[in-house]
Amino acid sequence: MGNQALKERTSTSKISDQTKRENELNSNANHEFNNKDGNKKMMDKVMIFQAIKESFLKLDPRTMVKNPIMFVVEIGFFITLILSFAPQAFGNSGVEPWFNITVTLILLFTVLFANFAEALAEGRGKAQASSLKQSKKEIMANVVRPNGKIEKLPSAHLRKGDIVIVSQGEMIPGDGEVIEGLASVDESAITGESAPVVKETGGDFNSVTGGTRVVSDEIKVRMTSNPGESFLDRMISLVEGAERQKTPNEIALNTVLTSLTLIFMIVVVTLPFFTKYLGFQLEIPVLIALLVCLIPTTIGGLLSAIGIAGMDRVTQFNVIAMSGKAVEAAGDINTIILDKTGTITFGNRMASDFIPVGDVKNEELSYWTVLSSLKDETPEGRSVIELLKQRGAKIDKKLAESGAFIEFKAETRMSGMDLADGRQVRKGAVEAIKSWVKSQGGQIPVDLDEETNAISKEGGTPLAVAVDNQICGLIYLKDTVKPGMKERFEQLRKMGIKTVMCTGDNPLTAATIAKEAGVDEFIAECKPEDKIDVIKYEQKQGKLVAMTGDGTNDAPALAQADVGLAMNSGTTAAKEAANMVDLDSDPTKIIEVVSIGKQLLMTRGALTTFSIANDIAKYFAIIPAMFMLAIPQMDVLNIMRLDSPLSAILSALIFNAVIIPLLIPLAMKGVTYKPMSSNALLRRNLTIFGLGGVLVPFIGIKMIDILVALFV
């Protein structure tokens, strides 16, 4: 099993974190928002300060024009600014200067708040990028020249095709492929995961990333990228948002919002003609206030922040999305194709039986198995002890105290213990144990191969246990469905997503696991080419398909899928083909990515609805105030009983401005998403954001009016 086991070990330790991660998603906890860590708080302060600075810089009309809604507000601001200094600039006006100035200030803050939201979201991406940049230090590389000489060169001078040697303790100078050797590599700089990963030449685990450290052994690496084009470089620019483009859905929503803005402009621009006919004049600052209140500034101000924050949430799950489009597509997924091993099951890991070989007794096997595994903290080791306990074997911890634990090594492919009395207990891959025993002159029991094959045939993995030169028996490691998978597939079903399990197992084993895990469909004896057929078949029916993969032979399928999530541990080809890369190499994360995609769209929809629903209350504040002087009976429409026409207008305008920063946390965190049927979800969101959007401003404007009335 070798590196396979190691690799899986890395991902398992995170599976225990899975619950934690789910909690994070459900409560939408945000690292920065919830972090009590003092250091982080400091960073937050810096970031907020930076965002404030940015929000002023973004006032530049050339930047503002990209956001038509806020641009309208800014134009309004310029007009009232002129009126503040020259009240009669656009004809006769009876407005007092303080009113013009107040409106000007509120409008300025409205724009600033919107800019702040965007800057803050961008800033968080930048902060992440800068932490990534730190791992991009200058590294001295040992370059092997064609003549065989080794030359020391800074990593910046490395070119594609160069061959370098990286030994224990050294940093890998750039992205590349292992062409010779085998080593465990610490990728924590990129993945945040401390357990090392085995990289070896050939196969699917030959790609290494620049900035990661070799912790054992030595490898020869051929560089696959030039400086500045590496995976890390691409990640940094993605996270920084430098390549951010508007997504299709964002464009569609922007069209609707712009159209609403134009409608309200028509309404406001034509209004003075109506009142002029009735014989009274509407003041320009009042009209601007009405326009700004009506156009959907709330969503207009938060829209890009929602998009950036959505990408950011994906990043915080240690998944790098190559585009916002991919995240959006994730929300629309109909089918998810998952590998069985490592995704749905632990991958041949949990002990399910002990089989003695030769003339060894059961009790004897148990005794040595305990010793081999007592200090083994890997899931396999723990599962062995767990099973022995279940079977009533007495476990005496003292047994192990005197011994020295021998750790698993990629080279030896076994672990065990050297006892105080000199005896050696080993547990590991059958072949490795066989040669170990042979090297000590031991005999191989005749029934060992037979039992080994029997286990393999059933889809299990055998581990041999030996003491000195005697093989005692086998541990039957069986594929086990990860805890909680059934519930997650149930959730997916509620979301309307079909799960397809792909496995190399025979149909019988596959069916057992499929049933146990609760997936909707499975493909047994699946070859990588089969996956692409499944994807094409589903897509033909108009479905959007997501899949995870890590091997080079997964690459075509990853490219074909609408959402392809590649594992960072996988090959470069897989990562290039996918539109998302999971730095933790945890394939189950695709489920979270789907949730985040949905959450992103929902947040946009919810805040748009809220923004539009708010207009009702604003109308009831401003319309009576506008007309009350000329038509006193309009007071009937002042249902909030606002203090005076001026305070009513200012209150509505202030509400319109302050609602933006108040909603920044929601825009950043996203609307809470729990898997449920779309109708239930809609009913819930409509109640909160639709009905809430109608009622909240009535209360808010009234409260602000009470305060404003003290001054006006």
Partner 1 sequence: MFTTILSIIITLLAAALLAKPMGIYLAKAFDYHVTSLDKVYGPIENVFYKMGGIKKENQSWKQYALSLVLANAFMIVLVYLIFRLQGILPLNPSGIAGMDPALAFNTAISFMTNTNLQHYSGESGLSYFSQMIGILFMMFAAPGTALAVAIAFVRGLSGKTIGNFYVDLIRAITRVLLPISFATAIIFIALGVPQTLEPTITAQTIDGAEQSIARGPVGSFLSIKELGNNGGGFFGVNSAHPFENPNALSNFIQILLMLLLPTAMPFTYGRMAGNAKQGRILFVSMAMIFVVFLGITLTHEFQGNPDLNAMGVQHDQGSMEGKEVRFGTGQSALYSVVTTASETGAVNTMHDTMTPIGGMLVLSNMLLNTVFGGVGAGFINVIMYAMIAVFLSGLMVGRTPEFLGKKIEGKEMKLIAVTMLMHPLLILGASSIALFSPLGTDAISNSGFHGISQVVYEYTSSAANNGSGFEGLGDATPFWNISTGIVMYLGRFFGLVTMLAVAGSLAAKKLVPETVGTFRTDTSLFGTILIGTIFIVGALTFFPTLVLGPVAEYLTMQAGGI
Q: At what angle do helices 248-278 and 324-331 cross, to 10 degrees?
A: 90
Q: How many CA atoms lie within 13 A of 205 on its CB side?
A: 19
Do the beta carbons of residue 471 and residue 437 sit within 8 Å? yes
CB of 590 to partner 1, least distance (A): 16
Do the beta carbons of residue 368 and residue 393 sit within 8 Å? no
DSSP at 145: P
CB of 272 to partner 1, least distance (A): 8
List the one residue from 612, 663, 668, 704 that touches partner 1 (CB under 8 A).
Answer: 612
Q: Of residues 128-167, which lie at the interface with partner 1 (CB under 8 A)? A: none
Q: How many residues does the chain have?
A: 712
List the one residue from 26, 27, 259, 453 that touches partner 1 (CB under 8 A).
Answer: 259
Total of residues contacting partner 1 (CB under 8 A): 70
Please report whether residue 634 would count as binding partner 1 according to CB under 8 A: yes
Distance CA 209, CA 166 (A): 12
Q: Which is nearer to partner 1, 329 or 466 (CB)?
A: 329
List the one residue from 134, 148, 274, 711 that touches partner 1 (CB under 8 A).
Answer: 274
Please report whether residue 629 would count as binding partner 1 according to CB under 8 A: no
Q: Of residues 661-690, which lie at the interface with partner 1 (CB under 8 A)? A: 673, 677-679, 681-683, 685-686, 689-690
List the one residue from 397, 636, 641, 711 that touches partner 1 (CB under 8 A).
Answer: 636
Binding window for partner 1 (CB under 8 A); candidates: 28-36, 477-485, 552-560, 631-639: 631-639
Q: Which of 44, 233, 339, 582 is catalytic?
A: 339
Q: Which is nearer to partner 1, 219 or 642 (CB)?
A: 642
Phi and psi torsions of 385, nearest 5°: -60, -45
List the one residue from 156, 263, 508, 707 that touches partner 1 (CB under 8 A).
Answer: 263
Distance CA 145, CA 151 (A): 7
Question: Any catalytic annotation for residue 217?
Answer: no
Please report whether residue 494 would count as binding partner 1 according to CB under 8 A: yes
Q: Which is nearer to partner 1, 189 or 601 (CB)?
A: 601
CB of 102 to partner 1, least distance (A): 23
Q: Which is nearer to partner 1, 126 or 498 (CB)?
A: 498
Q: Of residues 348-387, which lie at the interface with partner 1 (CB under 8 A)? A: none
List the one residue from 52, 195, 419, 637 that touches partner 1 (CB under 8 A).
Answer: 637
Please report whether residue 653 would count as binding partner 1 according to CB under 8 A: no
CB of 519 to partner 1, least distance (A): 16
Other C-beta atoms closer than 10 Å to the C-beta of 671 total 23
Distance CA 494, CA 678 (A): 9
What are the distances in angstroms from CA 294 to CA 4, 167, 450?
60, 65, 79
DSSP string, 471-484: EEEEEEEE--BPTT
β-strands 521-523, 461-467: how paired?
Answer: unpaired
CB of 20 to partner 1, least distance (A): 23
DSSP at 148: S
Distance CA 366, CA 371 (A): 9
List the one residue from 134, 270, 390, 439 that touches partner 1 (CB under 8 A).
Answer: 270
Please report whether residue 639 would count as binding partner 1 according to CB under 8 A: no
CB of 104 to partner 1, least distance (A): 24
β-strands 580-582, 319-321: how paired?
Answer: antiparallel
β-strands 163-166, 140-144: how paired?
Answer: antiparallel
Please report whether residue 541 would count as binding partner 1 according to CB under 8 A: yes
Q: Which is nearer to partner 1, 224 or 595 (CB)?
A: 595
Please report whether residue 641 would count as binding partner 1 according to CB under 8 A: no
Distance CA 322, CA 653 (A): 39
Number of helices (H) and strands (E) in the chain: give both, helices first: 27, 20
Handedness of CA 376, 7, 310, 136 (dihedral sign): positive
Bridge partners of residue 463, in order along the sequence: 429, 475
List the one residue from 276, 391, 438, 536 that touches partner 1 (CB under 8 A).
Answer: 276
List the one residue from 141, 351, 606, 664 that touches partner 1 (CB under 8 A).
Answer: 606
- Contact letters for partner 1, residues 313-332 (x by CB under 8 A): ---------------x--xx
Please report whether residue 491 would count as binding partner 1 according to CB under 8 A: no
Tokens linked to 555: 């690459």
Please report whether residue 597 would count as binding partner 1 according to CB under 8 A: yes
Please report whether residue 255 would count as binding partner 1 according to CB under 8 A: yes
- Secondary structure (3-state) at 581: strand
Please report whether residue 395 would count as binding partner 1 according to CB under 8 A: no
Do the beta carbons of residue 591 and residue 492 sit within 8 Å? yes
Binding window for partner 1 (CB under 8 A); candidates: 5-13, 415-423, 591-599, 652-660: 591-599
Binding window for partner 1 (CB under 8 A); candidates: 135-143, 173-181, 605-613, 644-652: 605-613
What's the gap between Cα 492 and its chain centre?
Answer: 17
Tokens linked to 637: 């429409």
Tokens linked to 601: 């769209």
Distance CA 365, CA 517 (A): 32
Amino acid 30 reads: N
List the one residue from 309, 414, 600, 640 that touches partner 1 (CB under 8 A).
Answer: 600
Other C-beta atoms closer than 10 Å to the C-beta of 56 total 14
Please report whether residue 698 would count as binding partner 1 according to CB under 8 A: no
Distance CA 97, CA 87 (A): 7
Binding window for partner 1 (CB under 8 A); candidates: 343-351, 529-537, 583-591, 619-627: 619-627
Please report whether residue 467 would count as binding partner 1 according to CB under 8 A: no
Do the beta carbons of residue 110 and residue 297 sit within 8 Å? yes
- Contact letters for partner 1, residues 277-296 (x by CB under 8 A): xx---------------x--
Bridge partners of residue 428, in order along the sequence: 414, 464
DSSP string, 523-563: ESS--HHHHHHHHHHHHHTT--EEEEE-SGGGHHHHHHSSE
Distance CA 72, CA 58 (A): 14
CB of 666 to partner 1, least distance (A): 14
Q: Of residues 80-99, which lie at the interface with partner 1 (CB under 8 A)? A: none
List the one residue from 141, 327, 602, 642 that touches partner 1 (CB under 8 A).
Answer: 602
List the catalytic residues. 339
Give the interface with partner 1 as residue ranges (CB under 8 A).
248-249, 251-253, 255-256, 258-259, 262-264, 266-267, 270-271, 273-278, 294, 328, 331-332, 334, 493-498, 541-543, 597-602, 604-606, 608-609, 612-613, 615-616, 619, 623, 627, 631, 633-634, 636-637, 673, 677-679, 681-683, 685-686, 689-690
